């Protein structure tokens, strides 16, 4: 009887743990804190590099401008195109180190959303919560607001 009770307790504990791990795995990779002091992030593609790659749409240009203005914020945000799984990205910042961000509506919308919310005075944590709620889907990529 003790053996059976022990198995039941173990099965319950495993099912709870599996549920927690499964819920956490739905959140893409991001960093909990800004880069360490002195740590230099890889550069975001410049407007010229973007143009030379044939990326000339307004949403592409504005998203890369936003990424260049708030790199430490993007470093702390997940990207819900799940590029951490298919491209090895570590955060939303990774998307803008190459052309991936210019080819993905999710990346562009998240970067523009993060920039707009940062301008409103939101903290990184508040921005991350908004991204996890998928609030970035409100961004109009056909008519992106200019990044100043």
Query: What per-residue confidence (pLDDT) applies to 67?
Result: 98
Query: What per-residue confidence (pLDDT) applies to 117?
Result: 98
Mean pLDDT of the chain: 89
pTM of the model: 0.83
CA dist 39 and 69 (Å) reads 17
**130 CB-near residues (< 8 Å, 6+ apart):** 113, 117, 122, 136
Residue 39, number of CB atoms within 10 A of its CB: 9
Domain map of the chain by residue range?
Answer: 30-138
Tell me the pLDDT tens digit for each residue of 66-75.
Answer: 999 999 999 9
Tell me the pLDDT tens digit for each residue of 4-27.
Answer: 444 444 444 444 444 334 345 699
């Amino acid at each position: 009887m003790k053996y059976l009770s022990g198995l039941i307790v173990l099965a319950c504990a495993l099912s709870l743990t599996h549920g927690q791990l499964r819920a956490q795995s739905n959140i893409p990779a991001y960093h909990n804190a800004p880069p360490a002091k002195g740590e230099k992030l890889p550069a975001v593609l410049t407007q010229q590099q973007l143009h030379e790659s044939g990326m000339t749409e307004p949403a592409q240009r504005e998203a890369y401008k936003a990424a260049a203005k708030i790199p430490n914020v993007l470093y702390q945000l997940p990207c819900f195109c799940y590029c951490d799984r298919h491209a090895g990205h570590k955060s939303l910042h990774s998307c803008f180190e190459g052309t991936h961000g210019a080819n993905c509506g999710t990346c562009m919308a998240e970067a523009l959303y993060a920039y707009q919310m940062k301008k409103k005075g939101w903290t990184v944590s508040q921005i991350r919560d908004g991204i996890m709620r998928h609030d970035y889907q409100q961004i109009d990529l056909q008519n992106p607001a200019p990044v100043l």
